[in-house]
C-alpha cells in the first residue's frame, strides 16, 4: 500500500487534437520529455446508490473521495495487475492510496467498498511527459470513452469525448510556478473530472 500527496491541475481542450497539444509540450521552455510509451488507461468507478461522491464533486465540497479500480492495456476487463485507488482531496491538495485488488488491506478502502458499487467504466489513451528538473509531470489524455454500468433506466450507450485533457501533477511546494507553466497553452486551468463528465454523459 502506498499513499501519495500532490496537486493536480487540469486543462480541457474541446477543440484541439492530441498532436497539437503534444507539440506545445515538447517545445515548452521547461524541457518536457516523453517518459513512458502511450498506453490505454482503464478505470471502474464506484459510488453510492445516490451518487454521493459525484455530488460532492459537483457541489465543490473541500473534502471528498473517489474509489476506483484501475488497470492498463487494451483489455476492458480488470487483469491480475489491477489496482484499487482511493483518491482523497482536502482543498487543493490530493492524496491517493493504491494497493492491488488481490491484496486489499486498507480499512478505508474496505469501508468504501461496503457502501458503493460500480457505476461507470472510463477508458482512454494517455501520453506521459516530465520536466527537465523532474519536478512536474504532464499527461495528455484523448479518445476518452465513458460506459455506464448501472441498470438505471437513464443509462445511455458508451460516449467518446471529442476533446483532450492535459493534467499537470506536482508537489505543493511549487504551486506558485504553475501559472507560468500553463501560459504557453493559451488556456486557463479549469475544473474537469472525467468521472463527473462520464456520469453526466451516460445518465443525464
> For residue 47, how far is the Cα from the chain centroid?
16
CA distances from 88 to 40, 112, 114, 135, 167 (A): 23, 12, 17, 22, 17
Q: What is the pLDDT of residue 64?
A: 86
Q: What is the pLDDT of residue 152?
A: 62
Model pTM? 0.89
Q: What is the pLDDT of residue 111?
A: 94
C-alpha torsion 144→104→117→96, nearest 10: -50
Q: Is 126:38 a contact under the CB 8 Å cutoff?
A: yes
List all residues 6 or more positions away from 182 whose beta carbon is below 8 Å from its beta carbon.
9, 11, 168, 188, 189
Q: What is the pLDDT of residue 33?
A: 97
pLDDT average per 10 residues of sequence, the chain (204 residues): 72 90 94 96 96 90 90 95 91 83 89 95 98 94 93 72 92 79 78 91 85
Q: In the beta sheet, which residues pair with residue 11? A: 166
Q: What is the pLDDT of residue 102?
A: 86
Q: What is the pLDDT of residue 192?
A: 87
Query: The C-alpha cell of 204 is what?
Result: 443525464
Amino acid at each position: 500500500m502506498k499513499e501519495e500527496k500532490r496537486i493536480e491541475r487540469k486543462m480541457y481542450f474541446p477543440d484541439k487534437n492530441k498532436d497539437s497539444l503534444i507539440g506545445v509540450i515538447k517545445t515548452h521552455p521547461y524541457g518536457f520529455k516523453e517518459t513512458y510509451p502511450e498506453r490505454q488507461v482503464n478505470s471502474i468507478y464506484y459510488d453510492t446508490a445516490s451518487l454521493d461522491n459525484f455530488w460532492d464533486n459537483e457541489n465543490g465540497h473541500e473534502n471528498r473521495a473517489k474509489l476506483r479500480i484501475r488497470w492498463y492495456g487494451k483489455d476492458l476487463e480488470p487483469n491480475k495487475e489491477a489496482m484499487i485507488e482511493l483518491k482523497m482531496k482536502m482543498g487543493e491538495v490530493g492524496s491517493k492510496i493504491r494497493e492491488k485488488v488481490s491484496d486489499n488491506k486498507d480499512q478505508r478502502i474496505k469501508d468504501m467498498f461496503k457502501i458503493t458499487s460500480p457505476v461507470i467504466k472510463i477508458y482512454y489513451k494517455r501520453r506521459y511527459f516530465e520536466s527537465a528538473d523532474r519536478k512536474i509531470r504532464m499527461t495528455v489524455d484523448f479518445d476518452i470513452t465513458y460506459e455506464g454500468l448501472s441498470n438505471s433506466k437513464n443509462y445511455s450507450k458508451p460516449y467518446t469525448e471529442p476533446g483532450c485533457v492535459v493534467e499537470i501533477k506536482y508537489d505543493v511546494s511549487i504551486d506558485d510556478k504553475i501559472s507560468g507553466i500553463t501560459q504557453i497553452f493559451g488556456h486557463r486551468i479549469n475544473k474537469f473530472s472525467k468521472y463527473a463528465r462520464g456520469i453526466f454523459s451516460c445518465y443525464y
